[in-house]
Structure 1
Amino acid sequence: MLDEKLQPIFADVLRRNPGEEEFHQAVREVLDSLGAVVAKHPHYAEDALIERICEPERQIIFRVPWVDDKGQVQINRGFRVQFNSALGPFKGGIRFHPTVYLGTIKFLGFEQTFKNALTGMPIGGGKGGSDFDPKGRTAGEIMRFCQSFVTELYRHLGEYTDVPAGDIGVGQREIGYMFGQYKRITNRYESGVLTGKGLTWGGSQVRTEATGYGAVYFVERMLRTRGQSFDGKKVIASGAGNVSIYTMEKVSELGGRVIACSDSDGYVVDQAGIDLDLLKEIKEIKRGRVSDYAKARGNGATFVPEGRIWDVPADVAMPSATQNELNGQDARTLVKNGVIAVGEGANMPSTPEAVRTFLDAGILFAPGKAANAGGVATSALEMQQNASRDSWTFEATEARLATIMHGIHDRCAEMADTYGSPGNYVLGANVAGFIRVAESMRALGIV
């Protein structure tokens, strides 16, 4: 039950943000963890501090007109929610997907605020995107859309103001188009205004791999608390995009065997272990589907159309696709099939019922705001390199990433112990992130 002191705050969030279910879910998850904090430290309930944390500093909605290859004018809607800058400039990705609306961006920005705080780095939380669907569009159409998007958004960006990155539907190509337009409009080569750039024009080693690698580093640390490791474990990872592919790569390096991945058409099972070179060729070069992987792999792989990847028995599950992809029934199936750990590579991929199921069953569960912080942590490292006009090696950057992820794990575990719920990484992540943001906000006054 939500603490009685926090119930009016949540009721006000519902009233002020009607219909934004993902945002409601994200806020409720954090508030559920704060009862013990407010009881122990009443000052966190003063000066509307929690209410201010739940309200974005700025919400920007704008029209994005562009012309397709047939000469037809298309109209999309763009968003940037600058949620909280108490720790530093707003930092968070841009998502292009037809399901994007204000509630999606607000939930992501809220989560990003706590995720960024957990890294220990000086970055605030924000998120952006559009209901534009890049799937099936030509490179020319995507370029024209990105240029129009940035033509409006650029006035709200800056290396000391707001630093976007990529997310679903936005990779290095899209970041390049946006950076080029920003440079053209401002007449400044301000490398630190966007992260996820190419290595030849200000990007960082390991940024492509960072979210997937980071999630695995977190789960590896979590497994160690029970004397376990990835060695010899069967792993399933939903999705077949950037996060999922590099989750699979790092799991394989640590001795695990990834036996299934998925996309919106269904999932593929390959008990011998997913052939990552083949999957990368199909997804990153040919921009194909996991069904194409199954065909190319031959008899060794089975494609299940429109199935639930969570039906595949495994030791470790890594939901790495999108929000609320893993529901309560999926969680019960995983528990029944003997899963010992779940690590969220995506943002809030497990529903509240699924999370409760894992926690009640004593499963090691790593929430996304902690486990998938590797991407934004490496973006902050990219910002450091841009500011110092420097470039680090892959090995040095990955070592920094591993250190950051292990530190996030340890902070979450410590807070869970401190507030009477050992092993509850959900509570630990929420409390650790909240305290860092809250202390900074108190220091800055009523702003």
Structure 2
Amino acid sequence: MIDIPSPAIAIVGRHNSGKTTLIERLIAELVGRGLDVGSIKHHSHRAFDIDHPGKDSYRHRAAGASETVIAAPGQVARIKTIEGEEECADLVRSMPGHDIIVVEGYRKSGLATIEVMRAANEADAHTAEVFLRGAREGLPLGADFTQLGRGEDGARTGAVAGTGAEAAGAVDAGVGSAAGSVDASSFAADEREKMPAGSTVAVVTDIPAAREAAALYGIPAFDLDDVAGLADFLGEHYVRPRVTVVIQAGGESRRMGRSKATVPFAGRPLICRLVERLQPVADELIITTNEAENLGFLYEMYPHAGIRLVADIHNERGALPGLYTALQAASNPYVAVVACDMVFASARLVVAEALAMHESGADVVAPSNKHGFEPLHAMYRKEGCLAPVRDRVQRGEKRVQSFFGDPAVTVLPFTQDRVLHVEPRGGCFINANTPEELARIEDSYLGE
């Protein structure tokens, strides 16, 4: 079982800001778009309990069980007694496989946050005024506006310092500004830390001051009812990008003397091993081949894998024309390309490359070592690679690395250290070109 880490976003705001209502509508919108959504709710009250007296599970815990699992058809719940409070990052890690996790609260979790401010909520109105004052003063996003004030001559006399609860005290002088005067004493003690921060990536609000501040800080602001726009924003920046895995199985190999895809390995066609290793991390699984009629058995063997057999667009041999076929056929933005003779191809490496691409914005994430790149166990961004690859193919290029030097293409080397961190045993790039090589690999194969 390969765990695919779930990306997460936190939606935060003060009490009665409308967070829960927004999150409810947002989850429905995202699910309606076909996404798998997880959610986490931060509850600050120590007395919180999801179990109730009289229930059998409650009786189990009352008797002293430190962990109780309640299972029923279609759902399961786990109640566990812990010391202190679970970190949000640990909760997210415990929920792999989602396209996105929407977190309510956990402002200090380190996640990117979306700030909710509603005009009808007095605390939000005050926060918006402070937010705008800081933006107009040119203070960095997330700064505590401590001692923010102006002297009689209009010069700045304040300074930016401190964190957390000091934020509201920044304007306790109540000095007027274009945003209006702000009296910090009107903030409840538990609201003083709940200000937009450096982690704030968007604002959802119906307060003009908050919208203006967001514009000054260069972050988007959405209306409270613009759930579709917010979902678009998450889809572009935070939802897990879908990955197409392409296994290149062109056809007969001169050195192997037959098709590599159908050559026996451990008693079955070699292509079966590749499908089984990579399908768990594929949102779409494509096999590029010039012998589709000989690989039709895969549909029956793996009826739920959604395999697509795609013929090469170009007749000439070469890794680059094969990559062009893969990119052209893929339905998803990220395309992992693996050669069918890579006996130990790694699903974990595919996941790690996709995460690296998402974090870096690179067009190519390719394993690299002292010998160069491994382009046939790499990740390609379809949008950034399709045109440059097509241009090189039209020029007669055959090597994948021929387009790595294109100034419009960003290549991120995935170093050997990073590969070994993902797959400590290594061997991801071992391939078999001859019957003798395949036999040696099979002899050393121990059912890993």
Scaled by the length of structure 1, the TM-score of the pair is: 0.25
Higher strand share: 2
Scaled by the length of structure 2, the TM-score of the pair is: 0.25
